[in-house]
């Protein structure tokens, strides 16, 4: 289960997110579970990756309220609790 402050990435599209609010759901991207990134070591690889200018776009799960910040954005679809995560700021219909 994701914990606040942890970072996860997708092995397929290389999307990377940081957990802002914990939820009970499992973070999924490109149809598979995102992988936990250890705080040290592997992070070195990411320093050259392009980061979002404003610190990342927040996405939230409407089911478990898990919230993440997209650190390295790709075209991959973020999912949690079996549904797409919603980009925060947009008005939910």
61 near Zn ion, judged by CB under 5 A: yes
**Contact region with Zn ion (CB under 5 A), list: 1-9, 30-38, 47-55:** 30-38
- Does position 26 interact with Zn ion (CB under 5 A)? The reply is no
Q: Which is nearer to Zn ion, 11 or 43 (CB)?
A: 11
Joined tokens for residue 89: 């700021």
Smallest gap from residue 64 Cβ to Zn ion (A)? 3
Residues pairing with 70 in the sheet: 17, 57
Give the integer Cα–Cα distance in Å for 26 and 54: 25
Backbone angles phi, psi at 44, to 5 degrees: -55, -35
């Amino acid at each position: 289960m994701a914990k606040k402050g942890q970072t996860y990435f997708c092995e397929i599209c290389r999307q990377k997110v940081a957990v802002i609010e914990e939820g009970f759901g499992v973070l999924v991207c490109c149809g598979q579970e995102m992988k936990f990134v250890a705080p040290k070591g592997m992070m070195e690889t990411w320093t050259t990756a392009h980061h979002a200018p404003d610190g990342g776009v927040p996405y939230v799960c409407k089911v478990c309220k898990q919230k993440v910040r997209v650190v390295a954005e790709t075209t991959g679809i973020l999912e949690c609790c079996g549904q797409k995560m919603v980009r925060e700021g947009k008005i939910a219909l």
